[in-house]
């Protein structure tokens, strides 16, 4: 027992000694010197090229317009489907932009108050289905939208596409929902 205690204390003291001697004053001084040089270089750069005074904020304006466009109702979206070579091969007209099939109207996590603390567990979505958990996203590779003319739900997955809120001048035909 004494031997075990001796070995534990010896290992502990050796670890403390290694930690205390690993950062010499020279290392700290060198690090401080490097930081000072970096700060001096940055000060020179700021003097030569000062930060501009922004007045227009076009990116913020674009994000606001982006949000407004997504909020439009009774406005068609043109969903262009691309072939493997990147060329547009057809398009849908949808009521919205394509929406990820793993967007939910409710949280898919529930809090369980257990005797040893709270746990976050997978909970069913509004449709009564469990969709994985722990950041599971394997089933989230598809998008859906509703056809403008027929209200047919269309789900697309693993294909390339892009959207526009205005029709583009491309020589391609619309993809139409067949009459019943």
Same domain, 128 and 175: no
Rg (CA), the chain: 30
Q: Residue 5: inside a domain, yes or no?
A: no
- In terms of domains, do 116 and 90 share one? no
101: confidence class by pLDDT, cuts 50, 70, 90:
confident
Above 70 in pLDDT, residue 50? yes
178 & 156 share domain: yes
User: Considering its fold, how many domains does the chain have in total?
Assistant: 2
**DSSP-assigned beta bridge partners for residue 144:** 99, 155
Structural domain range at position 87: 72-101+140-180
The tens digit of pLDDT for each residue in 118-169 reads 888 887 777 777 776 555 555 678 899 999 999 999 999 889 999 999 999 9
Greatest Cα pair distance, the chain, in angstroms, is: 89
Per DSSP, the three-state class of 57 is: coil
Residue 155: closest CA among 88, 51, 79, 48: 79
Does residue 61 belong to any structural domain of this protein? no
**145 touches 77 (CB < 8 A):** yes
**Quick one: CA dihedral 42, 45, 47, 49, positive or negative?**
negative
């Amino acid at each position: 027992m004494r031997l075990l205690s001796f070995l534990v204390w010896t290992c502990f003291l050796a670890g403390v000694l290694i930690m205390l001697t690993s950062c010499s004053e020279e290392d700290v001084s060198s690090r401080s010197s490097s930081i000072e040089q970096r700060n001096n270089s940055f000060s020179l750069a700021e003097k030569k090229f000062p930060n501009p005074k922004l007045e227009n904020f076009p990116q913020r304006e674009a994000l606001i317009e982006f949000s407004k466009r997504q909020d439009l109702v009774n406005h068609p979206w043109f969903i262009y489907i691309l072939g493997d070579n990147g060329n547009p091969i057809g398009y849908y007209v949808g009521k919205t932009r394509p929406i990820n099939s793993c967007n939910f109207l409710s949280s898919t996590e529930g809090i369980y108050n257990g005797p040893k603390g709270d746990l976050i567990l997978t909970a069913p979505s509004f449709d009564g289905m469990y969709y994985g958990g722990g950041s599971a996203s394997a089933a989230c590779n598809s998008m859906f939208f509703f056809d403008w003319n027929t209200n047919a739900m269309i789900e697309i997955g693993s294909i390339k596409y892009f959207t526009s809120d205005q029709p583009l001048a491309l020589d391609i035909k619309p993809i139409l929902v067949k009459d019943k």
